A and B are shown apart, each in its own frame.
Chain A
Amino acid sequence: MILDPSADDRLDRAFMALADPVRRGIIARLSRGPATVNELAEPFAITKQAVSKHIQVLEHAGLVTRTRDAQRRPVHLDAAQLEALTAWIDRYRLIHEQQFRSLDALLAEDRTEDAGTTTGRTREETPS
């Protein structure tokens, strides 16, 4: 649960990973349960090797993990990581970013008034 530069790298990788429709399709399939590469490759008109590459990208982004289960190597969705993406970004940083942008806008308005180039609008006239 960190938003420092290294965590930013991880978030960048995660969002890059999700920017591809095949990889989103793989995530959607995995949200219903673990699956093997063969099973994941079925709905796509691309080679198994290409699907493997996509899985590697998702693995590198920390969105999926692979375990060994006898002869199978099923791919699992790391739901916590996905949730961390949405929880952190949507809930906290975006709120603060929006909030501080509102403060920017307010301060910019003040500066305009200070500079004597006011449009004549006063705070009392500001619709609440």
Chain B
Amino acid sequence: MTNPVTITAPEGLPFVEIEREFDASVAAVFNAHRDPDLVTRWLGPNGYEMRVDRWDFVPQGGYRYLHIDPDGEEYAFNGTFHSVRENEFAVQTFEYEGFPDVVAIESIAFEDLGNGRTLLRIHSTYPSLEARDGMIQSNMEQGVREGYERLDGVLAA
């Protein structure tokens, strides 16, 4: 019963668009974004521990958290919550501290599809195409390493 995720990175524009439906009410999906105890249970890749320094999902609030990989390597992220409208919409900035000063602006729309279903739409704008592609391709060394290990497996087979 997994809903597909659609990710679009249009050629020539520094955007990333992500869409995903959930079999849950808009209030539940919104709350899973607002409550830091819940956020730590889903945000970030599998196998990583998440530690929240700060999470104020309110207008002019902000956040800082770390993903810790199984080797103990830490990856820190921070940003501000610019707008937050309950069960509807949020705008936040996103900065990976490994690439300081490259800040994306993300809008998140929570859309009630009725029948207890919700559509989540994320639109991220990066300062440049290079920043977007860099973020996608290299912001977590772990992922690259896993990618190359898989490639090694492919080549060794």
> Closest CB of chain A to B147's CB: distance in Å?
3
Q: Which of B1-35 contact A (CB under 8 A)?
A: 1-3, 5-11, 18, 20, 22-24, 28-29, 31-32
Q: Please tell me if the beta carbons of A110 and B136 are within 8 angstroms of each other in the complex.
A: no
Query: Which secondary structure characterizes the binding site on chain A?
Result: helix
Query: Which secondary structure characterizes the binding site on chain B?
Result: mixed
> Which residue of chain B lies nearest to A109 when distances are taken between CB atoms in the complex?
B41
Q: Please tell me if the beta carbons of B7 and A107 are within 8 angstroms of each other in the complex.
A: no
B73 at the interface (CB under 8 A from A): no
- Chain A residues lying within 8 Å of B37, measured Cβ to Cβ, are 123
The listed residue (B20, B40, B41, B147) touching A100 by CB distance below 8 A is: B20
The listed residue (B28, B42, B116, B143) touching A99 by CB distance below 8 A is: B42
**Contact of A92 with B148 at beta-carbon distance under 8 Å, contacts A107-B22, A123-B37 already known:** no
> Which residue of chain B lies nearest to A88 when distances are taken between CB atoms in the complex?
B136
How many A-B residue contacts, CB cutoff 8 Å? 113
Q: Please tell me if the beta carbons of A92 and B10 are within 8 angstroms of each other in the complex.
A: no
Q: Please tell me if the beta carbons of A103 and B32 are within 8 angstroms of each other in the complex.
A: yes
Q: Which of A78-112 contact B (CB under 8 A)?
A: 82-83, 86-108, 110-111
> Which residue of chain A lies nearest to B47 when distances are taken between CB atoms in the complex?
A98
The listed residue (A83, A97, A107) touching B23 by CB distance below 8 A is: A107
Q: Please tell me if the beta carbons of B2 and A104 are within 8 angstroms of each other in the complex.
A: yes
Q: Please tell me if the beta carbons of A107 and B24 are within 8 angstroms of each other in the complex.
A: yes
Stretch from B57-65, B81-89, B100-108, B149-157 that touches the partner: B149-157
A4 at the interface (CB under 8 A from B): yes
> Closest CB of chain B to A70's CB: distance in Å?
29
B140 at the interface (CB under 8 A from A): yes
Q: Please tell me if the beta carbons of A96 and B2 are within 8 angstroms of each other in the complex.
A: no
> Which residue of chain B lies nearest to A103 when distances are taken between CB atoms in the complex?
B42
Q: Please tell me if the beta carbons of A110 and B144 are within 8 angstroms of each other in the complex.
A: no
CA distance A12 to B2 in the complex (A): 19
Q: Please tell me if the beta carbons of A87 and B147 are within 8 angstroms of each other in the complex.
A: yes
- Chain A residues lying within 8 Å of B1, measured Cβ to Cβ, are 104
Chain A to chain B contacts (Cβ below 8 Å), 12 pairs: A1-B9, A2-B10, A3-B6, A3-B9, A18-B154, A88-B136, A90-B150, A91-B140, A95-B140, A104-B1, A105-B42, A107-B22
